[in-house]
Amino acid sequence: MRQRKNTKPRRAATRVLVGAAVVLLAGLFFHHYWLSLPVGTGPAGPPVPRQAFSRPWTDRPVLLVGLGDSVTAGFGSTRGHSYFERLVVNPPDEWPEMHGISLGAVLPNLRWKNLSVSGSTSPYHLQRELPLIPKAGPRTFGVVVMTTGGNDLIHDYGRSAPREDAMYGATFQQAGPWIAAFETRLGTMLDRIEAGFPGGCAIFLANIYDPTDAVGDARHMTLPPWKDGLRIHRAYNEVIARCAADRPFVHLVNIHDPFLGHGIYCRQWWRRHYRRHDPTYWYCTIFEDPNNRGYDAIRRLFLLEMARVLPSQMTGPAAGRTPASAPHE
């Protein structure tokens, strides 16, 4: 009589191997779609029509001022590649289609000063940055670029109880008075800036992007969950939009929408904001600030809005050319 072989050890080994393969595949899937964030190469953001920069916009003296947080300060970019620097002059390694497309190319009497500080919040911008804006004469036109409010939301990543200028983890009810205070504070800032330019000014105010691509969950990036985060973020952007709409000298630069799909879920093709033609990451390592490609996109978004409004707004009394009183600062 033939004796049956015991197949239990073989089956057990097969189950172990299959289980290990499943775990490995799951790990590779998670790494590829959650942790691997390709930066990509080449230009980023919308095209900017060259024709708008083919002739000077004005011969008046123009003062460009940068205000706000690390986005305007250029944290995460390499030298010459922040959006503020690229607004003024093209870097040596500029993309061919952007050669000669900058404020320096159309404003012959341009000088500039960037007062923004990385890590700063909107109270700091009101109290510490605004007083440093250089005094402008009646012939000088002011162009102000500003990013504010982002650090109010994210600091300090839930490591302490939420407060007005460090709201991470707050409920929407908690944040209600802080949102209202931000609206008052932002309005005060915009009105004071405008009052400081008797020759006229245009303020280009960016809204706040969302590195979570409207998912609102960054737990796989080691941040604690924040149930009302997206709602509070949306309320801050609504404040920014209202403050801009209420003032003819303020122009909203929407960086929020173009950045969707370029955050920490950029590879996940099943998401609503997946960018099939450029599924890449526009932020630096800490996903709080842009990388070089992200700053390229922001620069283009500012330039598009500037080209739309500045040539007509800058027309006015300007007798001859007045050399810039100072180079860049």
Let me know if 242 is exposed, middle or buried by CB neighbors in 10 A (0-12, 13-18, 19+). Answer: middle
Please state whether the peptide bond connecting residue 217 to the residue before it is cis, i.e. omega within 30 degrees of 0.
Answer: no
How many angstroms separate the CA atoms of 228 and 248, rounded? 32
Nearby residues of 133 by Cβ (< 8 Å), 6 or more positions away: 65, 67, 113, 115, 193, 196
Let me know: does 98 contact 139? Beta carbons within 8 Å.
no
Closest by CA to 310, choosing from 119, 142, 121, is 142
What pLDDT, on the 0 to 100 scale, is given for residue 3? 58
Closest by alpha carbon to 85, among 258, 323, 292, 251?
292
Phi, psi of 253 (to 5 degrees): -110, 110
Answer whether residue 89 is part of any domain: yes
Q: Domain of 123?
A: 39-313
Gap between the Cα atoms of 28 and 22, Å rounded? 10
Q: Is residue 150 part of a domain?
A: yes
pLDDT of residue 36: 84
- Note whether residue 13 is domain-resident: no
The pair of three-digit structure tokens given for residue 137, joined into one six-digit string: 């004469």
Residue identified by tokens 């299959």 is 18
The answer as to whether 91 is a domain residue is yes
Residue 315 has a pLDDT of 78
pLDDT attached to residue 325 = 37
CB 57 within 8 A of CB 318: no
Instruction: Please report whether residue 156 resides in a domain.
Output: yes
- Token pair of 252, please? 């909203």
Count the domains in the chain. 1
Q: Which residue spans within 207-258 are E strands per DSSP?
A: 250-253
Q: What's the pLDDT score for residue 4?
A: 60
Q: Contacts for 310-314 with beta carbons within 8 Å, 24 or more apart?
A: 310/57, 310/143, 310/202, 311/52, 311/57, 311/58, 313/141, 313/200, 313/202, 314/57, 314/58, 314/60, 314/62, 314/141, 314/200
> CA 101 to CA 53: how far, in whole Å?
6
CB 112 within 8 A of CB 63: yes
Question: Residue 145: enclosing H or E segment and its boundaries?
Answer: strand 141-147
From first to last of its 329 residues, the chain has per-residue pLDDT tens of 555 666 667 676 667 666 666 666 566 656 566 668 999 999 999 999 999 999 999 999 999 999 999 999 999 999 999 999 999 999 999 999 999 999 999 999 999 999 999 999 999 999 999 999 999 999 999 999 999 999 999 998 999 999 999 999 999 999 999 999 999 999 999 999 999 999 999 999 999 999 999 999 999 888 999 999 999 999 999 999 999 999 999 999 999 999 999 999 999 999 999 999 999 999 998 889 999 999 999 999 999 999 999 999 987 544 333 333 344 44
**pLDDT at site 95:** 97
* Residue 328 confidence (pLDDT): 44
Nearest to 304 by CA among 209, 204, 191, 176: 204
Provide the residue type at 31 as one letter.
H
Query: Considering only CA atoms, which of 10, 103, 35, 98 is closest in space to residue 65?
Result: 103
Q: Could you tell me the CATH number of the domain that includes residue 120? A: 3.40.50.1110
In a domain, 139, yes or no: yes
DSSP symbols for 271-307: STT--TT-----B-TTSSSB-HHHHHHHHHHHHHHHH
Domain assignment of residue 12, yes or no: no
Residue 10 lies in a domain: no
